[in-house]
Amino acid sequence: MRAAEGLRTELLAHCYRMLGSADDAEDLVQETYLRAWHSYDRFEGRASLRTWLYRIATTVCLRALEQRARRPLPSALGAPSDDPDQELTPEPSVHWLQPIADTRLDADPAAAAVSRESIRLAFVAALQHLPARQRAVLILRDVLRWRATEVADLLETSTAAVNSALQRARARLAEVRLSEADLIEPTAPDQRALLDQFVAAFEGADVQRLTALLRDDAIVEMPPYSTWYAGADRCGRVLLRCNEGPGHLWLLPTRANRQPAYAVWKREPDGIYQSYAVLVLTLDVSGIAHVTAFLDPDLVATFGFPREIDPLTALEHRTMEGAI
């Protein structure tokens, strides 16, 4: 079973696509290995170890989804709001889609290139619109490139049923996927410049500068709030509603779902910066197209960052950044 450990990160990505939760995916990967360990003496080697583990993982995910509701983003639940100043009320009853840190995924550049589009936030959010078995069929066929006969064997159904499910899944995905799939990302230097400007505007509470960085049709959503916004002016204003002025928020760059992201801390009255949110950005050559602000302080720790930072550490980090 030592060889199986090398497959852990791709199994994690598979379970994450199925569930939309990095935490649940970790639990089910652990369950997959536990089941594999207990049944390894019955592994006959007719399929590869990788295929065998994917069979177990998919079955585990399908059983888990029988007891779980889909994990949406706010934009899947209704129309955008036209009032960026309205009072926001969290929806604690909704189990929201979660981002996943790139550090929890396979760091191999070749693997990253293959899996990039299939792990992006918009794609995983779109998968949540599919029934569990359709979701499994589409992932196995279109992401992992399994043959229809292999999928039929796993799901204990016919090849015709698999092909039919795949057609329905593709059609549904085409209906709900946002135009982000067709965005042309800026070059690396332009992306770095855009992101630097975003941090400066966000931390500086400069709503005019921030709005100028957003596409005219930009979208901002902020789970656990079900309210979301479209349009640069509204999005710029709502993004900075929580910012009381320069120095109130502090950002550090990271990566989530193979996209630019930021961990965010908010300064409390005692001066300590407490974890506040994770922002995931979608960029194209005309600006920032989408910001998903996951307002969950606990998420910051899952990206490997501390929950709190003292002002001196923040100042030292900023000084080091300026010297680079």
Q: pLDDT tens, 147-199?
A: 999 999 999 999 999 999 999 999 998 887 655 556 778 888 999 999 999 99
Query: Would you say residue 237 has pLDDT above 70?
Result: yes
Task: Name the one residue in this structure whose structure tokens are 């207990």.
Answer: 38
Cβ contact 173:126 at 8 Å: yes
**Residue 176 is which amino acid?**
V
Instruction: Please give the structure tokens belonging to residue 274.
Output: 């407490």
| pLDDT confidence band for 38 (50 / 70 / 90) | confident
Q: What is the pTM of this model?
A: 0.90
Measure the CA–CA gap between 45 and 30, rounded to whole angstroms.
22
Pairing state of beta strands 287-294 and 259-267? unpaired
Amino acid 200 reads: A
Read off the pLDDT of each residue in 280-309 and give the average, rounded to a whole number.
95
Alpha-carbon distance of 101 to 207, in angstroms, equals 28
Q: How far apart are CA 298 and CA 224, in angstroms?
A: 13
Indicate the residue type of 286.
S
Mean pLDDT of 292-301: 96
Confidence of residue 324 (pLDDT cuts 50, 70, 90): very low
pLDDT of residue 43: 64
- The topology under which CATH files domain 2-180 is Arc Repressor Mutant, subunit A (1.10.10)
The residue ranking higher by pLDDT, 6 or 66, is 66
pLDDT digits (tens, 9 = 90+) for 122-153: 999 999 999 999 999 999 999 999 999 999 99
pLDDT digits (tens, 9 = 90+) for 210-236: 999 999 999 999 999 999 999 999 999
Residue in this structure with the two tokens 């910051």, named with its chain if needed: 300
Q: Distance between CA 260 and CA 284 in Å, rounded? A: 12
- Identify the residue whose tokens are 């499994």: 136
% the chain with pLDDT above 70: 88
Helical (H) or strand (E) element with 159: helix 159-176
Choose the weakest-confidence range: 24-28, 105-109, 129-133: 105-109
Other Cβ atoms within 10 Å of 84 Cβ, number:
19
Strand-pairing partners, residue 261, are 254, 280
The top-scoring range by mean pLDDT among 2-11, 19-28, 171-180 is 19-28
Per-domain residue ranges of the chain: 2-180, 188-323
| 46 pLDDT above the threshold of 60 | yes
Residue 282, helix vs strand vs coil? strand
- Largest interatomic CA distance in the chain: 64
Give yes or no for a cis peptide into 99 (omega within 30° of 0): no
- Using H for helix, E for strand and C for coil, what is the string for 245-281? CCCCEEEEEEEECCEEEEEEEEECCCCCEEEEEEEEE
Q: What are phi and psi of 47, to 5 degrees?
A: -115, 165
Q: Residue 156, class by beta-carbon neighbours within 10 Å (0-12 exposed, 13-18 middle, 19+ buried)?
A: exposed
Average pLDDT over every residue of 193-208: 96
Q: Categorize the per-residue pLDDT at 111 as very low, low, confident or very high, splitting at 50, 70 and 90.
A: low
CATH of domain 188-323: 3.10.450.50
Please name the residues in contact with 294: beta carbons below 8 A apart, sequence gap of 6 or more. Answer: 96, 98, 99, 222, 223, 277, 278, 279, 280
Mean per-residue pLDDT of the chain: 89
CB atoms within 10 A of CB 32: 26
Residues 72 and 95 sit within 8 Å (Cβ to Cβ): no
